[in-house]
Amino acid sequence: MIRTLDPVTLEVIRNALPAIANEMAADLQRTSYNMMIYEVRDFCTALLAPNGDLVSQNVGGVSHFVADLGVIVVDGMKRYGADDLKPGDVIITNHQAVAGQHLNNIVIYMPYFHQGELIMFAMVRAHWIDVGGMSTGFGAGPGVADPWQEGLQLDQLKIYEEGKLDEKLYRVIKDNIRFPESSLGDMKSQMAACRLGTRRLDDLFAKYGKETVQAALSRIFDETEQKCRNVVARVPDGVYEASASLDDDGILKDVPVVIHAKVTVKGGHMTIDLSGCSGERKAAINSRTLAGARVAYKALTAPLEPVNEGSFRALDVVIPEGNIMMARFPAPMSGWSAVVPTVVDTIVAALAKAMPDSVPAGHHGLLGGAVVFFGNHPETGKRFVVQSLEGGGWGGRPTEDGESATVSVCQGDVRNGSIEGIELKCPVLVESRAMRMDSGGAGKHRGGLGLDVQVRNLVEGRWNFEHTKRQNCPPWGLWGGKPGDFGGYLMRQPGETEFQPMRGAHVAVPVGAQAIVRTGGGGGWGDPLARDAELVARDVREELVSADVARRDYGVVLRGDRKVDQPATDKLRGEMLKTRAA
């Protein structure tokens, strides 16, 4: 019997589908083994239709995963077809020819059947701490020559078939990763979350029936699309462009990675063209993803609304094959995410003139400052890996300062690891985690601050020092705001007095070495001389801005008690304005 799709039923189903994905996420967090999942939250949970349409994704899930789930389902359907998928099947995949990311991002998904008909898939993508090869931590870095060196490639394989474990495949995975208890435990947590999703779908379809749920889903997609069109329709039609760059790709020194976005707006429809970005590189910073464009579009149109396939119907994305964002397998992709946040920022920056009251200055533009140290504990003989993602500064906004110490626009609710958790589980000492004075760009609305996280290793081991390098293109200011500072890594060996800049993967260090993971600040928004002098003084008192920068960039003179000397400030600001006009 077909139930009438009344407004109440529509709203119940509209909220039920994201709720299923959210409950899957909570289940995954509670049962996982790996800090990257249960604390940092580097994962997403979702429901998808057999044609790859995104039905729902958990709130706070890693944002840049939103573009690369449907392609996996489409590829899986080509591989198996509806007739070769059965209840109890569980598929595992991370293959870069389709998934387009580093191999640590493992996807587990299973089909959902209603009365014998394949209706949806429940899916979890989550970051494993190791998949063999050079993958320990956040990935092997840009120096990896190919995917085989990075780790295990799992290409749409059934780890369970009709409820029966493939013992041989399980053994192959177990024997080729360094942390089988953690990673295979996470796999079981991913499977449990998917099973929970299918049980909740059973409840939903039993209550409302297939026709009603699918009719509601069609309406939800249509209405989501229209909401996005309505926002874009308020942007003047036209072609908008912006460029940015990374200093290099980690191998070819001083050869910048160019990022160029061309955004065309016409009648509520948007086209994002990334054809002007660099071609694929030999360094492992390639990806195969629409994430940059989709994350930017979602942030501009409906950032607080649940995401589904309708969110992107009014968007066309142009990325040619062979582009660094649409690399062809086997181009190495270990550092796939290095470019994506800056791509998002560049797309947003292109629209600054069209949306001056909405667009912020540039943010730190990286997927967190990665804290990765690993080795064998001499007392227990067990392997360990320290992992955390440290946030940076966001750009100043049209109405307020940028946020400090916050992960990138691509990362949803990803968080840094707690100091207590890190020190309890691993032989390191977190000596400080502090905001970097003067790292935020000056402006009427100041850029947010980056972090310095200093860690001392208490045993021998290896550090990963992989970081997006943007010294030559720091987070930009808007409307007269100044750029934020860039980030990097520093290392001080035992017996040395000074920290030195570092780059590289699997860098061997002795007991007592100290690393600083440094993240960038955000750009400033608006003329620094227009900032309220009392706010500048407050920033100095809170050690966010130095007295020298207060005077140099903001024209604010402070007395000995660090309060505003108003006559001296008025005089200095007047002189600075005259100098500009000359």
Looking at the fold, whether 162 and 212 belong to one and the same domain comes out as yes
Looking at the fold, whether 460 and 537 belong to one and the same domain comes out as no
How would you classify the pairing of strands 90-93 and 54-57?
A: unpaired
Q: Is residue 269 part of a domain?
A: no
What is residue 311's three-state secondary structure?
A: helix
How many Å apart are CA 414 and CA 494, to the nearest integer?
33
**pTM score > 0.85 for this model?**
yes
Q: Which of 173, 189, 224 lies at the terminal end of a domain, its last residue?
A: 224
Looking at the fold, whether 539 and 527 belong to one and the same domain comes out as no
Q: How many CB atoms lie within 10 A of CB 567?
A: 9
Q: Which of 191, 224, 257 lies at the terminal end of a domain, its last residue?
A: 224
Q: Residue 251: what pLDDT? A: 85
How many Å apart are CA 552 and CA 570, to the nearest integer?
14
Q: Residue 1: what pLDDT? A: 47
Looking at the fold, whether 453 and 394 belong to one and the same domain comes out as yes
Q: How many CB atoms lie within 10 A of CB 159?
A: 19
Looking at the fold, whether 22 and 72 belong to one and the same domain comes out as yes
Domain with 366 in it: 360-531
Longest dimension (CA), the chain: 81
Looking at the fold, whether 446 and 577 belong to one and the same domain comes out as no
Q: Which of 224, 254, 277 lies at the terminal end of a domain, its last residue?
A: 224
Q: Is residue 450 part of a domain?
A: yes
Q: Residue 140: what pLDDT? A: 65
Q: Is residue 148 part of a domain?
A: yes
Provide the domain count of the chain. 3
Q: Is residue 240 part of a domain?
A: no
CA of 331: how far to CAs of 23, 54, 150, 259, 380, in Å?
36, 27, 12, 18, 39
Q: Residue 425: what pLDDT? A: 86
Reading the chain (582 residues) residue by residue, the pLDDT tens digits are 455 689 999 999 999 999 999 999 999 999 999 888 888 888 999 999 999 999 999 987 777 787 789 999 999 999 999 999 999 999 999 999 998 999 999 999 999 999 999 999 999 999 999 999 988 877 667 778 899 999 999 999 999 999 999 999 999 999 999 999 999 999 999 999 999 999 999 999 999 999 999 999 999 999 999 999 999 999 999 999 999 999 998 888 889 999 999 999 999 999 999 999 999 999 999 999 999 999 999 999 999 899 999 999 999 999 999 999 999 999 999 989 889 999 999 999 999 999 999 999 999 988 768 899 999 988 888 889 888 889 999 999 999 999 999 988 888 778 888 899 899 989 999 999 999 999 999 999 999 999 999 999 999 999 988 766 889 999 999 999 999 999 999 999 999 999 999 988 889 999 999 999 999 999 999 999 999 999 999 999 999 999 999 999 999 999 999 999 999 999 999 999 999 987
How many Å apart are CA 485 and CA 506, to the nearest integer?
26
Looking at the fold, whether 422 and 557 belong to one and the same domain comes out as no
Looking at the fold, whether 550 and 487 belong to one and the same domain comes out as no
Looking at the fold, whether 416 and 559 belong to one and the same domain comes out as no
Q: Is residue 242 part of a domain?
A: no
Q: Residue 253: what pLDDT? A: 83
Looking at the fold, whether 153 and 192 belong to one and the same domain comes out as yes
Q: Residue 465: what pLDDT? A: 87
Looking at the fold, whether 461 and 538 belong to one and the same domain comes out as no
Q: Is residue 266 part of a domain?
A: no
For residue 472, give the DSSP letter. S
Closest CA to 129 of 504, 387, 505, 467: 387
Q: Is residue 17 part of a domain?
A: yes
Q: Residue 65: what pLDDT? A: 83
Looking at the fold, whether 162 and 197 belong to one and the same domain comes out as yes
Contact between 527 and 536 under an 8 Å Cβ cutoff? The reply is no
Q: Is residue 214 part of a domain?
A: yes
Cis peptide before 330 (omega within 30 of 0): yes
